[in-house]
Structure 1
Amino acid sequence: MKRNVLIIGAGGVAHVAAHKCAQNNILLGDIHIASRTIEKCQAIIDSIKEKDNQCGPGRIVAHQLDALDVEATKQLIHDTNSQIVLNLGSPFLNMSVLQACIETGAAYLDTAIHEDPAKVCEAPPWYNNYEWKRRDACHKAGITAILGVGFDPGVVNAYGRYAVDTYFDTVDSIDIIDINAGSHDRYFATNFDPEINFREFTSTVWSWEDSQWKANKMFEHKKEWDMPVVGTRPTYLTGHDELHSMSANLNVPNIRFWMGFGDHYINVFTVLKNLGLLSEQPIRTAEGLEVVPLKVVKAVLPDPASLAPAYTGKTCIGDLVKGTKDGKPQEVLLYNICDHEESYAEVGSQAISYTAGIPAVAAAMLIADGAWDVKEMKNVEELDPKPFIELMNRIGLVTRVRDSQGDRVLDPYAESVELAEASLHTDSNH
């Protein structure tokens, strides 16, 4: 068993993860939260105490850390005796934190692909540009490293694996659909770090079509989906992290990511982009100051965590999988519904952070008890999805399935057994 968790980052996802670690600290042990700004870490601890979310005795401690400093990160891992590191800060930190874990023996988890601040939308597959280059090092050191274990990427990867293994003989397509049907009281805001959010959309949109990469423009392809609870919503084909590992690991010829956007978001985004304000490249002002336009926009927009108190409505995120079973067309939707107000009542956060934070903690718990402590680098779809889905059902993110049999809560173990038995029965009749 592995114990004691170091959370790197103090944003919205780290906030949720810290609350959930505290709720499960009997298994996870001490909790340490580290960021460049120690006051933000302490504010999370104060929130845990205010919500009375610490389940059992144990330490919850704030630390100041520049996680780009590998030696400082290694020292903090040693000093706190942390055996699991949740990297929930900026994706610019991934390679530094991963290296610190390789050198100290701590398990590593993150929720997004590493990014180079000077590059946007590099050539796919993105993981091959960074994390996958450390596969051998993780294997040689016996280090468990689980990549992209938020919701998307993360849970949607597990949904894809579960669907392929459970419901189909052949799979033609996986459409990942992310709808935020919530609303807040700000003129314009992003639901997570504005810099990271905008970088996803300012260049090439990559999709996996006919077993090859296809380059698209942002907002070029629009599609409306009729989703549970939130209804029919417009979405746009978008490039996203999970496509870059699922395309390599699931042997599915078409994998696409669709994100919901309202007209207001698109209008503001378009103006900012056309003015050059979303550029990641530095410019010099008339006064001689060097600034990065994207960082300026980030500085003037609301902190995503500040949206939580006034956020209402729900999110719906899932995988619509199409293929064949017993020679007949089959369509299955695996999805989750999350409520902004309920998330805020429990942990003081909005649903976007809630859906990203819980999977990371569930993965940490599966490493702690050994189920996912695989001692090498893996993406989520390479791991058994059943314990992951079952655990999330218990700690706050319930998975549902909609197919020809109706709409129901997914019990991953029972459903797999029932379908396997039904298949055996059908085969015996033949």
Structure 2
Amino acid sequence: MSKVLVIGAGGVGSVAVHKMAMNPDIFSEVHLASRTVSKCDAIAASVRERTGVTVPTYAVDAEEIAEMTKLIEKVDPRLVVNLALPYQDLAIMEACLRTGVDYMDTANYEPREEAKFEYRWQWEYHDRFKAKGLMALLGSGFDPGVTSVFAMWLKKHRLKTIRTLDILDCNGGDHGQAFATNFNPEINIREVTAPARHWENGEWVETPAMAVKREFDFEAVGPKNMYMMYHEELESLARFVPEMERARFWMTFGDEYIKHLTVLQNVGMTRIDPVMYQGHEIIPLQFLKAVLPEPASLGSTTKGKTNIGDIATGEALDGSGEKTFYIRNICDHEDAYAETGNQAVSYTTGVPAMIGAAMMLTGKWKGEGVFNMEQFDPDPFMDMLNEHGLPWKVEELDGPLPF
């Protein structure tokens, strides 16, 4: 049996379900649930039109453990694929433990009341999953996810050690909106406005949000300003690649995005603490999310490409001294939309979610406990990236980034 239950009906959930339906030899049945069942129904209709596969749909509040448990018992899947909001990770993990079902997600847990991105809450579940003989795979998106697999592929095939690592995430797409986020606005803005952190010489170094900016010329996109941020794969990479002296994460943002975000911060619209309005408590960032365009609605108007990859420097496997390699994927927004009805930011996360699930269902990645992407053989995952729409390339550079 290779039945899966997907939780979450945003752009990433849509891509993952479409791609699962395109691979019936791995996914015998795909079931989809979210808080808003009409979103699930729309995805199911698209999947049926494109592939002929029927996807049963359900309404569920994924933060309610009892409700999640009841749904898992009803569907009886081999695997629950959590593509909902990261606030819901722990509740879904609890429901999986209660029902004896494996678990997978694309983003680590964070509490609603604080923009704190750490794996420790989920790592603490390791012994409980191990005792039940269950597997949980964390962070099987692109970043986190593919970027970690890229690093481990380089360490297996090119570098004996990784001394420095830079992850570069560039979205060169243009959707024609003055200000809109390409994935969940609430999560996106929480990430961007949080203090930046990077790993250096065995400790975390913190800098103010968006304070470190550099320009980089991205293939198929061109020169872009990128900003140093914190991203959760830095934490798992620092743990599983212990020889790393430095690891940083960079993301590109246009000047218009920065301008709008600065104004929104200055007027308090990015706050995540409640404020009183006309006798009711509201959270400004959640209100802002409600008035911004739904990311899934941007697919038909987004043009351009994404370029996401790793630049790693270390001791070469062949003993030829220190070398630097750049490994990356370039994805076209319009191609992604033509295939799945979603833009490339959703596509580059939804496809790796499908592949991570496939790794578990086929037994190519297996274990008992809670695991990160860095702990498994990168080769079968990398092969599936090439086969399912996210081809990658690697080249040797003259040296590491000059900054």
* Pairwise same-fold verdict (TM > 0.5): yes
The verdict on how the C-alpha distance between 1:376 and 1:53 changes in structure 2, with shifts beyond 3 A counting, is farther
- Does structure 2 retain, via aligned residues, the 8 Å contact 1:153–1:241? yes
Aligned residue for 1:265?
257
Q: Which has the larger radius of gyration?
A: 1
- CA displacement, residues 123-158 of structure 1 (integer Å, 9 cap, x when unaligned): xxx111x10110111111111111001000000010
Aligned residue for 2:311?
320
Say yes or no: does 1:214 pair with 2:205: yes
Mapped partners of 2:34, 2:264: distance in 1: 30
Aligned residue for 2:373?
380
Which structure 2 residue ranges, 5 or more long, are not aligned? 399-403
- 1:99 alignment partner AA: E
Mapped partners of 1:81, 1:25: distance in 2: 18
Aligned residue for 1:37?
36
Mapped partners of 1:101, 1:225: distance in 2: 43
Q: CA offset at residue 289 of structure 1?
A: 2.2
Mapped partners of 2:124, 2:160: distance in 1: 33
Mapped partners of 1:225, 1:346: distance in 2: 30
- Does structure 1 retain, via aligned residues, the 8 Å contact 2:82–2:103? yes
Q: CA offset at residue 226 of structure 1?
A: 2.5
Mapped partners of 1:171, 1:26: distance in 2: 37
The verdict on how the C-alpha distance between 1:112 and 1:53 changes in structure 2, with shifts beyond 3 A counting, is farther
Which structure 1 residue ranges, 5 or more long, are not aligned? 406-430
Q: CA offset at residue 193 of structure 1?
A: 0.6
- 2:255 alignment partner AA: D
2:156 aligns with one of 144, 150, 165: 165
Say yes or no: does 1:367 pair with 2:360: yes
Mapped partners of 2:245, 2:133: distance in 1: 33
Aligned residue for 1:237?
228
Mapped partners of 1:113, 1:269: distance in 2: 24
Say yes or no: does 1:21 pair with 2:20: yes
Say yes or no: does 1:50 pair with 2:49: yes
Say yes or no: does 1:403 pair with 2:402: no
Say yes or no: does 1:310 pair with 2:305: no
Q: CA offset at residue 169 of structure 1?
A: 2.6
- Does structure 1 retain, via aligned residues, the 8 Å contact 2:178–2:256? no
Aligned residue for 2:83?
88
1:292 aligns with one of 265, 283, 287: 283
Mapped partners of 1:169, 1:21: distance in 2: 35
Q: CA offset at residue 306 of structure 1?
A: 0.4
- Does structure 2 retain, via aligned residues, the 8 Å contact 1:336–1:397? yes
Secondary structure of 1:391 counterpart: helix
Q: CA offset at residue 53 of structure 1?
A: 6.0
Superposed structure 1 runs of 4+ greater than 4 Å apart = none
- Does structure 2 retain, via aligned residues, the 8 Å contact 1:19–1:53? no
Aligned residue for 2:112?
117
Q: CA offset at residue 211 of structure 1?
A: 2.0
- CA displacement, residues 204-262 of structure 1 (integer Å, 9 cap, x when unaligned): 21111122101111121111223322232210000111111111111212111000011
Q: CA offset at residue 43 of structure 1?
A: 0.3
Number of paired residues?
Answer: 395
- CA displacement, residues 348-387 of structure 1 (integer Å, 9 cap, x when unaligned): 0000000000111111111111111222211001111100
Equivalent residue runs for 1:246-285 within 5 Å: 246-251=237-242, 252-285=244-277
User: TM-score, normalised to structure 2's length?
Assistant: 0.95
Deviates most, 295-304 or 366-375: 366-375
User: TM-score, normalised to structure 1's length?
Assistant: 0.89
- 1:135 alignment partner AA: H
- Does structure 2 retain, via aligned residues, the 8 Å contact 1:316–1:336? yes
Aligned residue for 2:339?
346
Mapped partners of 2:395, 2:115: distance in 1: 36
Deviates most, 320-329 or 138-147: 320-329
Mapped partners of 2:386, 2:231: distance in 1: 25
Q: CA offset at residue 404 of structure 1?
A: 5.5
Q: CA offset at residue 327 of structure 1?
A: 4.9
Mapped partners of 1:157, 1:364: distance in 2: 16
- Does structure 2 retain, via aligned residues, the 8 Å contact 1:121–1:204? no
Aligned residue for 1:180?
171
- CA displacement, residues 67-113 of structure 1 (integer Å, 9 cap, x when unaligned): 11112212211211211111000001000001111222211111111
Secondary structure of 2:270 counterpart: coil
- Does structure 2 retain, via aligned residues, the 8 Å contact 1:23–1:53? no
Mapped partners of 2:193, 2:170: distance in 1: 20
Say yes or no: does 1:65 pair with 2:63: no
Secondary structure of 2:163 counterpart: strand
Equivalent residue runs for 1:199-210 within 5 Å: 199-210=190-201
- 1:263 alignment partner AA: D
Mapped partners of 1:404, 1:292: distance in 2: 46
State percent identity of aligned pairs. Answer: 39
Aligned residue for 2:74?
79
